[in-house]
Structure 1
Amino acid sequence: MEVSASSLGIDLSHDSAGWYKWLLACFLVGKRIRSSVALAAYHALVVGIGLDTSAKLASCPHRTLVRQLGSAGYARYDESTARRLHALGGRLQSEMANYLDLNVKVDAARLSQWLLSFDGIGPKTLEIFMRELHSAQR
């Protein structure tokens, strides 16, 4: 099953909030876990408890992230994923505007290098994220 921003109801056309949500979804879907579990976790975090911005993710208590991930089916990976998500939120909050300026054409190589510097973002997550970015920049 191929996941897209539109299939998750994410609007990438207006502001960085959509791109944050898409990166969060990619972060979860890009892992070695059933996509249904990853999507349930995305919905639990964004819709369930309102983590619809990087600032909210960064300030979310660790145990709340663990609880939401566990309820979505991340039984063995809830602690490590919660740590990585918290770090993701913090860095996105402070750095995302430097790499993903929606008013200019994004430097894909620079963005890719930055994304791969995050703990928990690897080639698969990057591939999924960039697929939508390339589509949006056409």
Structure 2
Amino acid sequence: MAKAISASELGIELQREDDASLFKWFIASFLMGKRIQAPIAAQAYKVIVEEQGCDTARKLQHCTSRDLVAMLGRAHYVRYDETTAQRLLDLSAKLNAEYAGSIIRMRNASDSPEAFEKRLAEFDGVGPKTIEIFMRDAAKVLF
């Protein structure tokens, strides 16, 4: 089994009450939670967030599906590019609509880590693997 990639290995320094780093890690976790090699998912994260500057839910939501498919393609993340692009758009739209784009607001709306994980699972394309990856690094700054 391949070694898991951590937030810090992607240059994401998770800190308490830091929505920017939590959002970046959520996107990276989402990409790595799919049946795709972790280095390719990490590269897709770098293209979308670092190179293209889609580092907030609002910025991500303003991309088109075609833009995201092209970004994923540049990272060789081509297996599920169409569905992944749409789910990234849906994820950002839901985060913006329900939590003003804030992972911390989502946490504040949850009365326990389990309730927070249940909210994460409500995002299309976020399953147990994505939640496991995200919480592995984020739990210590969220709870």
TM-score w.r.t. length of structure 1: 0.89
2:28 to 25, 28, 38: 25
Q: Which residue of 2 aligns with 1:114?
A: 119
2:60 to 48, 57, 66: 57
Structure 1: stretches of 5+ with no match in the other structure: none
What are the Cα deviations for residues 71-128 of structure 1, in whole angstroms up to 9, with x where unaligned?
2112231111000000111112232443224xxx972111101111111111011011
> Which of 41-50 and 126-135 deviates more?
126-135
* SS of structure 1 residue aligned to 2:126: coil
- In the TM superposition, residue 15 of structure 1 has moved relative to its aligned partner by 1.7
Say if 2:50 is the partner of 1:47. Answer: yes
Give the RMSD, CA atoms, in angstroms.
2.0
In the aligned structure 1, how far is the partner of 2:142 from the partner of 2:76? Answer: 35
Decide whether the 8 Å contact of 1:99 with 1:106 is kept in 2: no
Structure 1 runs, 4 residues or longer, greater than 4 Å off: none
In the aligned structure 2, how far is the partner of 1:52 from the partner of 1:108? Answer: 24
Decide whether the 8 Å contact of 2:4 with 2:38 is kept in 1: no
Amino acid at match of 1:132: D
Decide whether the 8 Å contact of 1:84 with 1:120 is kept in 2: yes
TM-score w.r.t. length of structure 2: 0.86
- In the TM superposition, residue 133 of structure 1 has moved relative to its aligned partner by 2.5
Structure 2: stretches of 5+ with no match in the other structure: none
Say if 2:77 is the partner of 1:74. Answer: yes
Percent identity, aligned pairs only, is 43
